[in-house]
A and B are shown apart, each in its own frame.
Chain A
Amino acid sequence: MRSPDGAWRWLLRKEWRELMTSPSWWVMFTLAGPLVGLSFISAVRAYGEASGVGGVAGGLADALWPLDGVLVPTLSAYEIIALFLLPFVAIRVVAGDRQSGAAKLELQHPMSSLGRMGAKVLVLFGGWCLAGIPAVMACVLWKIYHGSIYAPEAGTVILGHLLHAGLIIALAAAAASMTEHPSTAAILTLAFTVGTWVLNFVAAVQGGLWERLARYTPSEMLATFQHALLRLNVVLAALAFIAAGLVIAAIWMRLGVAVARRVVESAAVVVVAAAIVFACSFVRADWDSSENRRNSFSEADEETLATIKTPLTIEAHLAPEDPRRFDLEHQTLSKLRRILPDLTVRYVSSTSIGLFEQANAHYGEIWYDLAGRRTMSRITSSEGVLETIYGLAGVLPPKEDEPELHGHPLAARPVGAAPLFYAIWPMAIVGLGFYVKRRKR
């Protein structure tokens, strides 16, 4: 019998050949160009118009950053690709052997199922990286237009998309391995994806527990990276979910093991993964990789806030769908959580939209409690919240002497992008597909 290493290399080679002959992968590869192109062209056009193409930009141009204006919209095409195309590629790679009967042959090698799954995942990851070529093309075009790319924030967004794809691959692999037929696996995977969207919607409306649960959905996780915020707990939780999905897929590949044992092993994996994810929630390390420190207060404010050591509790009487709550959470509290480890935030509301609570005299109040000293304010802006906290803590607000950051407006048009993404790319990929098919024989 072949040594495990030699056999694994053969398996890897086989999986790669199978991927290269997989119509679903070629469809994904081909469509990646037009989808990325559509996002890129729309983003560059909107960015250019806001920067002054065909008119006057006014003060808006100074607030334009390529992260929000071009990078995130362009790469968002990969969120669509990962949700609607990648599962079929992954399911085909994982379930194909069982469908064709090859699994019955391959399982007669004493290789571990994790090794088998590893080969499949490595090949899928390689395939996903190849599908990233249109994104590289978009970045090159953006640089040709003299656009700015800040490498740390670009890297963070790319890492988010890689982890997002990893989650989808793990989910699809587990579904494909556990079900008899690929179509069942596809339905399960899409049901899960749509289910997380429903969860996000319910979280936005209901808040509370739903909001906490929604933090673990793939789209919410990706959103963190899209803000150029690299949170270690999110990365670790995503890796735990990916590992759990792949181990479950590996467990169910072992057709020769009794179903009851596979169920018990899968349950154990779920329990371990849940414990790891729970433990990850206590990890607080993060890094604001954005060029304009969008996830952070000014350095002076952060230094001043760091001197406040006592626990702070904020109780906001705002409904989940109230725009003031959105501003408070995203403009201020999310930044505050990174600086004050002993911060507790409670939202209080009896309705989801808050419209019918306006008559309540206490609605809209934000109560601050710092070591027993309490005060109330209704201001939701960063400046107002910080002023209230400084006043409560008895510290002087820092002087704002940091230079104001200016964005990178670019009055450019997406020249050459349409023919490249809509014509040259699809034709090149179709041609490459035929060439590969002929060469494989």
Chain B
Amino acid sequence: MRSFCIWAAVVRLEVKGISKRFGVNRVLRDVSFSINDAEILGLIGPNGAGKTTLFECLAGVLPADQGCVFSNNREVDASQRSSVLFFVPDGIAPWPNQPAQWALQFSLGFWGGRRHLYRDVVNELGLEPFLRMPIGTLSKGQRKRVLLALGLLSPQPILAIDEPFDGLDLRQSREAAAALRNHVSQGRTLFVSIHQIGDAAKICDRFVLLSDGQVAGEGKLEELAALAGERLGQAPPSDFEEVFLALT
């Protein structure tokens, strides 16, 4: 019962001991954390911390050297990862010659996504003006919004997004954040990496701090602040940026 009190939220995915090495460079070292149901978990870390590599290992598009992933206490092999998690990479322009509208229809047909949400997602992310334009001709922000739509329409319960607000202006970031939050309120679970600490603090329920390929902390803002205070030997910092700097 005690453990029930501690883990009030239902663990949707448990990541244990993920390690990855590129040659002599150890990018991920024994990374372990958990993703709870219907939360937004933020992956925070400085450049080169291994955030993208971690996402790709989790999604099964990059082989991890070690580690495993559990869902409902059952190990999920890399080849079966797509049954629980969909990953939206950053900086890609998939099917550049195809119109955005077709790409969304393809994603619905190919993955069998949430077709009933199509109109809502298009409206939430303001895709209508450029739906008929080829993805390769879209601006970085427009492309990012199409990618977010692809993710939101995917059928998997967990959506992992690498830098969801990269390329978006302030207004678009707010609209995208609202859309993500809306889908979480409907039961979706999000795991996002966010470069901007301020943005992360606004949208995420919990955080995983990644530094030099290792988990430097996991928990809610106040839990991380307490941990940072412990490390610094002083009162917990009130600012998330200070917490981040103290722990990474």
Selected from B86, B102, B110, the residue in CB contact (under 8 A) with A7 is B110
User: Which of A13, A102, A110, A440 is the most central at the interface, judged by chain B CB atoms within 10 Å of its CB?
Assistant: A102
Among residues 44 to 96 in chain B, which have CB atoms less than 8 Å away from a CB atom of chain A? 56, 59-63, 78-83, 86-89, 91-96
Closest A residue to B97 by beta carbon equals A21
Contact B60 A2 (CB under 8 A): no
Selected from A2, A17, A255, the residue in CB contact (under 8 A) with B111 is A2
Contact B62 A17 (CB under 8 A): no
Contact B61 A256 (CB under 8 A): yes
C-alpha gap A107/B133 in the complex (Å)? 25
Q: A7-B112, A109-B111, A256-B63 are in contact. List 4 more A-B contacts (CB 8 A).
A: A6-B109, A7-B109, A13-B109, A108-B86
Asked if B99 is at the interface of the complex by the 8 Å CB criterion, the answer is yes
Contact B112 A100 (CB under 8 A): no
Q: Given A2-B112, A255-B62 in contact, is the A441-B94 Cβ separation under 8 Å?
A: no
C-alpha gap A102/B109 in the complex (Å)? 15
Count residues of B near A (Cβ-Cβ below 8 Å). 38
Asked if A105 is at the interface of the complex by the 8 Å CB criterion, the answer is yes
C-alpha gap A258/B22 in the complex (Å)? 12
Contact A6 B112 (CB under 8 A): yes
Contact B102 A108 (CB under 8 A): no
Asked if A58 is at the interface of the complex by the 8 Å CB criterion, the answer is no
Among residues 85 to 113 in chain A, which have CB atoms less than 8 Å away from a CB atom of chain B? 97, 100-110
Contact A256 B94 (CB under 8 A): no
Asked if A199 is at the interface of the complex by the 8 Å CB criterion, the answer is no
Contact B155 A1 (CB under 8 A): yes
Residues of B at the A interface (CB closer than 8 Å) are: 56, 59-63, 78-83, 86-89, 91-99, 102, 106-107, 109-112, 132-134, 150, 155-156
Selected from A10, A18, A109, the residue in CB contact (under 8 A) with B97 is A18
Q: Given A101-B91, A104-B61 in contact, is the A440-B98 Cβ separation under 8 Å?
A: yes
Smallest beta-carbon distance B29→chain A, Å: 18
Among residues 13 to 51 in chain A, which have CB atoms less than 8 Å away from a CB atom of chain B? 13-14, 17-18, 21-22
Closest A residue to B88 by beta carbon equals A105
Q: Report the contact-size class of chain A (Cβ under 8 Å from the partner).
A: 20 to 34
C-alpha gap A108/B107 in the complex (Å)? 11
Asked if A232 is at the interface of the complex by the 8 Å CB criterion, the answer is no
Contact B62 A7 (CB under 8 A): no
Q: List 20 A-B contacts (CB under 8 A).
A: A1-B111, A2-B109, A2-B111, A7-B112, A11-B110, A14-B106, A100-B93, A101-B93, A102-B92, A102-B95, A105-B89, A105-B94, A107-B60, A108-B61, A108-B86, A256-B59, A259-B63, A441-B99, A441-B132, A441-B133
Contact B98 A257 (CB under 8 A): no
Contact A104 B99 (CB under 8 A): no
Closest A residue to B150 by beta carbon equals A105
Smallest beta-carbon distance B135→chain A, Å: 8
Contact A108 B93 (CB under 8 A): no
Q: Given A101-B89, A104-B92, A108-B59 in contact, is the A1-B98 Cβ separation under 8 Å?
A: no
Closest B residue to A22 by beta carbon equals B97
User: Which of A102, A107, A108 is the most central at the interface, judged by chain B CB atoms within 10 Å of its CB?
Assistant: A108
Q: List, in ascending order, chain A residues with CB within 8 A of B95's CB.
A: 14, 18, 100, 102
Smallest beta-carbon distance B46→chain A, Å: 23
